[in-house]
Structure 1
Amino acid sequence: MKINLNFEFPEGIDMEYKKAKNSIPDSLWETYSAFANTTGGVIILGVDEKAKPPIQGVQNAQKMYDDLLNQFNNPQKISCNLISDNDISILRTKEEKNLIIINVREAPYQSKPVYLKNDIRQTYIRLGEGDRLATPAQLKYLITISQNDIDSEILPNFDIDDLNPKTLIKYQKLLAKQDSKYEDINFEEMLISIGAYKKDRNGDGSYKLTTGGLLFFGRYNSIVDRFPHFQLDYFEKDSSLNSRWIDRVSTGDASFPELNIFEFFTIVLEKLFATTKDSFALDENQTRMPFKKDIEESLREALVNSLMHAYYDSDFPIKISAFPDYYEFYNPGNMRVTVEEFIKGNTSSIRNPTIATFLRRIGISEKAGSGGPKIFDTATKYQLMLPEIFSDFRSTTLRIWKVDIEHNLNKLQEPDKSILKFIMKNGSIKTQQIKEELGLKGQEYSYRNALDRLISSEYIERKGKGRGTLYILKQSSQEQYYLMKQFLKDIEDRISRK
């Protein structure tokens, strides 16, 4: 197979070029570790970006290919092999040079950190286009996320006096609504029953507080004794560009001196609900749909998701923001499932299962893995802009829109607005249609500039060349996946009706 490597994809977070003309470079293993510990990437051997020409090729490509497979399977070289035959390929360029392409997948969280030479200190992460030795904090994060039930850790020096009694009273009332047996038991019995207190089987056998119990029910000062950077923030703003806020909830503020996870959740959920407005929407039977209720359920699921999946040892806060057009839920800690798995549902890998249990016991969170589908299904039900998910090495951000794409049309000038409306209605547009159906014949300078603006703003993208060129709505990978999911669901429904 021959390819034309023209450097459309420069080195970056997921792309790395290496010379490797006569041998496998030592730096390859650092990049492998870095890619495996972050979000994966591609390594291309046989390219030197500083040389002219940059494509140098590799000598005896088949031997290097075999050597690579052997070394990837050597536990003295790397702690975890993610590479199979299908992940390495030899490609021939038009310059008659051989290149070796290595596709490195992100390691499963259970296998992190991926390190070199049996030395965990040789753990690398990818930052920009460089490989960096993990700092002690980053290494701790990788080790921590490789474990399950991290919020069930027993705390030997904490007890019930470190918990907020007002929180316990409020929680017990909600718990008793789900099961009347909790009406008359004491706090310690309740905490043991729900998993906030656990028996120290490796110590004196007494029941002790768990990290999840401390975070969820604790007094603020007690929480920061264990989690010194514990910070929960909520902001309501009239613009994402405005640093000033309309409303705020923040740990450590005089107005909220004893914020723990449960107190933050109940206060912020009420404030989020207050920012929603009902909208008159009819279903196919002309029956009014519960817009406000559905949006509130999405917001509740998103808030629960942030609190259950946060990495509380991080230096970064959990931050919930409400803007006029959208909501943003940020938590430290990357997603432990793929975006596709989050959208599809039924796949759950919770970073803090003890905290998740506390919420489920009072009917707040439904079955594991149901939040993602509910959030996306609500958006498509009311034809809102689809939610956006951004997840990297250290954090996850979920953005939920409360407007449809036409809302943004008011910000556009003409003929940009007319072109985008046509594409939204018909799926695509050609140059001939712009001239004839939009009445822009003879105005080539105007509509060419409009297309360029829409492309650069990532509203649309160009497909094809010449007369066959189409302009279509630009879709993210998650939007494409969700639309495919809906398409497959429609097929299943049709088959089931036959």
Structure 2
Amino acid sequence: MIDLTHLEKYRENNRIEAKKAIGGLPNSIWETYSAFANTLGGVILLGVEEHKDKSLHAIDLPDPTYLIEEFWKIINNPNKVSLNILTEKDVQTEVVDGKDIVVIRVPRAERPDKPIYIDGNPLSGTYRRNGEGDYHCTKEEVQAMLRDAASRSQDMLVLEDMDMGVFDYDSVHRYRQRMRNSRPGHVWEELEDEDFLYKLGAVSRGKDGRRYPTVAGLLMFGYEYEIVKEFPHYFLDYQEQFDDSTRWTDRIVSSSGDWSGNVYDFYFKVYNRIAQDIKTPFKIKNGERIDDTPVHTALREALANCIINADYYGRQGLVIIKKRDTITFSNPGNFRIDVEAAKSGGVSDPRNTTLIKMFNLIDIGERAGSGIPNIYRVWDKQGWEAPVITEDFEPERITLSLSVISEPNDLSAVSGKKTLIKSVDKKALIKTGDKKKIIELQKETVIEFLTDHVTCKSKDIAELLGIKLTRSRDILNELIADDIIVAEGANRNRTYRLREK
């Protein structure tokens, strides 16, 4: 974190604090200890002063041993400090330019230990660190740390002041259909809705023995106007910003009133938008079309992580912004583990474990802390810029930024898509009686075209394949019958697109 042989190159920042300590242990050291522990960790330097140019320089401490003894005495006093998270190796005397200083390395506190506070009161004695120094945490910030410290995840809370009427059962039924597709024959398949929700963790028993919604159930399947009763700052926001002259070119918000506003429906509305420009190679496996790539998997993981790890009691809501070359996922709440540990994988400490279970049952999300490393791995393999994770504390917020390469989304390239079908020797195939091969190649060409373009018309396919308009309609109808594409509109306005899986 800091090379003491070049101390003058450093400045005080959100992870370095210098104190002269000539007159003894400064009282402000405990605010800094609390701040570092509750933020990202940091180094406290005793016997170091800041010059006018902000550079740091050692000054010889008269008795560093006494300072260290005094430090240990006070930090182990629970009336002064809520918890000592240091070991002996974290507090050492060092020699810089021939002068003795004391170096105190404060790690980031583990989630169950927060908040680290002083003077016996978490509301008045909890601090955090920003670029300007230590600041006193608000009541809201302290409460967020206390929620995260609980052994039960916050989405397991039973909401005994609500009833089963908070649920949008259309959302529940869509979920159940997806679960049937993912897990055919599951033992919960024949349950009534309320029993199914109970097994899922969306409903639990209250103190009176009756069933009530859980926080996870409310978030996953509730109506937006019911969700905000429990989470006043709840807001889901997806924006497409493709034009610099406008704030956004398209938008989905949970408060619009024309859809449920819950996180389950938001996931699929947003995923279909962020994935539509990602090129999908045509593959058939066991007679079914496979329209997935590692990039699609990584995008699903990024979106699921954003939803699952949000602190919905926090401020500003969940915001996803898609631009031509980047997608950002931002949610309230901070990392419950160190960011570098999250990147390396194998460690998982989710905020909302029941939401994870719900998404896992429809094959969305990872359990073992492999999601973020997989995103980095996929982006590296694509040759794209590495993902960027930022963590803010005023208010608490996590943002993941992904650079992407957008595919063209217009129909101007129709004439350039004929090469596959025209490379086939039709006459040779016909002579060998392989007309079915021609039809399959034509279908593959249409599917490849629709992976590069959102929609098409029958005349586009006729030109693409070099066939008559009536024959292009026949091919499109066969693809509809194969459940690969869908038609929208009628007559001349009819368009075709790939069916959303």
- TM-score band by shorter chain is 0.7 to 0.9
Assess, with a 3 A threshold, how the Cα gap between structure 1 residues 370 and 324 changes in structure 2: closer, same or farther. Answer: same
Q: Does 2:153 align with 1:152?
A: no
Q: Does 2:390 align with 1:390?
A: yes
The equivalent of 2:272 in structure 1 is: 270
Assess, with a 3 A threshold, how the Cα gap between structure 1 residues 88 and 204 changes in structure 2: closer, same or farther. Answer: same
Q: Distance in 2 between matches of 1:243 and 1:110?
A: 44
Residue in structure 1 matching 2:218, options 214, 217, 224: 214
Q: Give the aligned residue type for 2:163.
A: D
Q: Distance in 2 between matches of 1:370 and 1:92?
A: 42
Q: Does 2:165 align with 1:161?
A: yes
Q: Does 2:93 align with 1:90?
A: yes
Q: Give the aligned residue type for 2:319.
A: K
Q: Give the aligned residue type for 1:17.
A: A
Task: Give 3-state SS (helix, strand or coil) of 2:341's partner.
Answer: helix
Q: Does 2:111 align with 1:105?
A: no
The equivalent of 2:130 in structure 1 is: 127
TM-score, length basis structure 1: 0.73
Task: Give 3-state SS (helix, strand or coil) of 1:131's partner.
Answer: strand
Deviations 1:277-304 (A, max 9, x none): 3589xxxxxxxxx996221111100000
Q: Distance in 2 between matches of 1:125 and 1:250?
A: 32
Task: Give 3-state SS (helix, strand or coil) of 1:234's partner.
Answer: strand
Q: Give the aligned residue type for 2:266.
A: F
Q: Does 2:33 align with 1:32?
A: yes
Deviation at 1:350, TM superposition (A): 0.6
* Count, aligned residues: 389
Q: Distance in 2 between matches of 1:402 and 1:144?
A: 35
The equivalent of 1:118 in structure 2 is: 120
Matches within 5 A, 1:64-75: 64-75=67-78
Asked whether the equivalents of residues 8 and 57 of structure 2 are also in contact (C-alpha less than 8 Å), the reply is no
Task: Give 3-state SS (helix, strand or coil) of 1:168's partner.
Answer: helix
The equivalent of 1:311 in structure 2 is: 311
Q: Distance in 2 between matches of 1:323 and 1:48?
A: 46
Q: Distance in 2 between matches of 1:299 and 1:129?
A: 36
Assess, with a 3 A threshold, how the Cα gap between structure 1 residues 279 and 380 changes in structure 2: closer, same or farther. Answer: farther
Task: Give 3-state SS (helix, strand or coil) of 1:118's partner.
Answer: coil
Q: Does 2:201 align with 1:195?
A: yes
Asked whether the equivalents of residues 47 and 55 of structure 1 are also in contact (C-alpha less than 8 Å), the reply is yes
Deviations 1:203-258 (A, max 9, x none): 2122221111111110111100110110111112226x66522221111125x442
Q: Give the aligned residue type for 1:401.
A: S
Indicate the structure (1 or 2) with the bigger Cα radius of gyration: 2
Task: Give 3-state SS (helix, strand or coil) of 1:327's partner.
Answer: strand
The equivalent of 1:412 in structure 2 is: none
The equivalent of 2:401 in structure 1 is: 399
Matches within 5 A, 1:218-297: 218-238=222-242, 244-254=247-257, 256-278=258-280, 293-297=293-297
Task: Give 3-state SS (helix, strand or coil) of 2:135's partner.
Answer: strand
Assess, with a 3 A threshold, how the Cα gap between structure 1 residues 51 and 397 changes in structure 2: closer, same or farther. Answer: closer
Matches within 5 A, 1:417-496: none
Deviations 1:432-490 (A, max 9, x none): xxxxxxxxxxxxxxxxxxxxxxxxxxxxxxxxxxxxxxxxxxxxxxxxxxxxxxxxxxx
Asked whether the equivalents of residues 356 and 367 of structure 2 are also in contact (C-alpha less than 8 Å), the reply is no
Task: Give 3-state SS (helix, strand or coil) of 2:18's partner.
Answer: strand
Q: Distance in 2 between matches of 1:88 and 1:4?
A: 18
Q: Distance in 2 between matches of 1:339 and 1:109?
A: 13
Asked whether the equivalents of residues 91 and 100 of structure 1 are also in contact (C-alpha less than 8 Å), the reply is yes
Q: Give the aligned residue type for 2:397.
A: S
The equivalent of 2:341 in structure 1 is: 341
Residue in structure 1 matching 2:66, options 63, 66, 86: 63
Assess, with a 3 A threshold, how the Cα gap between structure 1 residues 176 and 392 changes in structure 2: closer, same or farther. Answer: same
TM-score, length basis structure 2: 0.73
Deviation at 1:366, TM superposition (A): 3.6
Q: Distance in 1 between matches of 2:143 and 2:242?
A: 38
Assess, with a 3 A threshold, how the Cα gap between structure 1 residues 24 and 91 changes in structure 2: closer, same or farther. Answer: same
Q: Does 2:190 align with 1:184?
A: yes
Asked whether the equivalents of residues 7 and 57 of structure 2 are also in contact (C-alpha less than 8 Å), the reply is no
Asked whether the equivalents of residues 15 and 129 of structure 1 are also in contact (C-alpha less than 8 Å), the reply is no
Deviation at 1:276, TM superposition (A): 1.9
The equivalent of 1:365 in structure 2 is: 365
> % of aligned pairs identical?
31
Q: Give the aligned residue type for 1:57.
A: D
Deviations 1:27-58 (A, max 9, x none): 00001001111111111112332689964332
Assess, with a 3 A threshold, how the Cα gap between structure 1 residues 44 and 243 changes in structure 2: closer, same or farther. Answer: farther
After TM superposition, the structure 1 stretch with the greater mean CA deviation from structure 2, 70-79 or 300-309, is 70-79
Q: Distance in 1 between matches of 2:355 and 2:35?
A: 31
Q: Give the aligned residue type for 1:268.
A: V
Task: Give 3-state SS (helix, strand or coil) of 1:277's partner.
Answer: coil
Q: Give the aligned residue type for 2:349.
A: S
Q: Distance in 2 between matches of 1:67 and 1:172?
A: 62
Deviations 1:384-434 (A, max 9, x none): 222221123311111222249xxxxxxxxxxxxxxxxxxxxxxxxxxxxxx
Task: Give 3-state SS (helix, strand or coil) of 2:375's partner.
Answer: helix
- Which 5+ residue runs of structure 1 have no aligned equivalent? 281-289, 405-498
Matches within 5 A, 1:411-422: none
Asked whether the equivalents of residues 78 and 115 of structure 1 are also in contact (C-alpha less than 8 Å), the reply is yes
Q: Distance in 1 between matches of 2:354 and 2:371?
A: 17
Asked whether the equivalents of residues 111 and 337 of structure 2 are also in contact (C-alpha less than 8 Å), the reply is no
Assess, with a 3 A threshold, how the Cα gap between structure 1 residues 257 and 187 changes in structure 2: closer, same or farther. Answer: same
Q: Distance in 2 between matches of 1:170 and 1:291?
A: 21
Task: Give 3-state SS (helix, strand or coil) of 2:251's partner.
Answer: strand
Q: Does 2:69 align with 1:76?
A: no
